[in-house]
A = this chain, B = another copy of it.
Amino acid sequence: MSEKQVPLVVIKRLPRYYRYLGELLRNNITRISSTELSEKMGVTASQIRQDLNYFGGFGQQGYGYNVEMLYNRITSILGLDRGHKTVIIGAGNLGRALANYGGFANRGYNIVGLFDVDPALKGTFIADAPVMMYDELKSFVEKEKPDIAILSVPKNSVRKVADDMVKMGIKAFLNFAYVDLEVPDDVVVENVHLSDSMMTLSYRMASKAGE
């Protein structure tokens, strides 16, 4: 892709467009203008048109956008139609919850296995996915070639796990541990720092109350 690089802020908005368009589609709405969509989503129509135009002209002057076509295009841009083999490292409470999370499987993120160090879990299944031991991970990755690793391990082991997996060739991590990972340039990390969200939340709550 030698296209001009799309800003990260724009990319982060795509899932939200995807979500709203999916809703419109389920309500059998076939066309929508940027103005109508902007009212529903609480953003400007200008932003919607700018954002979509990073990926090409999906609309039609005088008409607006075809909901289904736009939905399909965004699905494809986000790669949701391609399927992604995903492993979860750490089968504790959080790992189990994530394996059971419906929002992943039906967008093509297939959990193909969980890994833990607790021998009691060996051979068990969570949401149809087998739980294996961490020392089996390397050969599993070689054989199955998963794309994405979800890291729900304790923070004192996450750096080692990430390093190991980078060596195995994994290029994408969803990290739940309360640590910033350092990875090579060709590897991407999304952090879900739950404590950070709580802190931002309580700060904003307090500052509203104090006004």
- Chain B: CB-nearest residue to A191: B197
Chain B residues with CB under 8 Å of A195's CB are 15, 103-104, 107
Copies in the complex: 2
Q: Are A148 and B198 in contact (CB under 8 A)?
A: yes
Chain B residues with CB under 8 Å of A1's CB are 207, 210-211
A161 on interface, CB distance cutoff 8 Å: no
Interface size class of A (residues with CB under 8 A): 35 or more
**A24-32, A58-66, A77-85 - the one binding chain B:** A77-85
Q: Are A93 and B84 in contact (CB under 8 A)?
A: no
Q: Are B201 and A174 in contact (CB under 8 A)?
A: yes
A73 on interface, CB distance cutoff 8 Å: no
3 closest residue pairs by CB, A with B? A93-B97, A15-B196, A172-B205
Which A residues lie at the B interface, using CB under 8 A?
A: 1-2, 6, 8, 11-12, 14-16, 18-19, 77-80, 84, 92-94, 96-98, 100-101, 103-104, 107, 109, 147-148, 171-174, 178, 180, 186, 188-190, 192-211
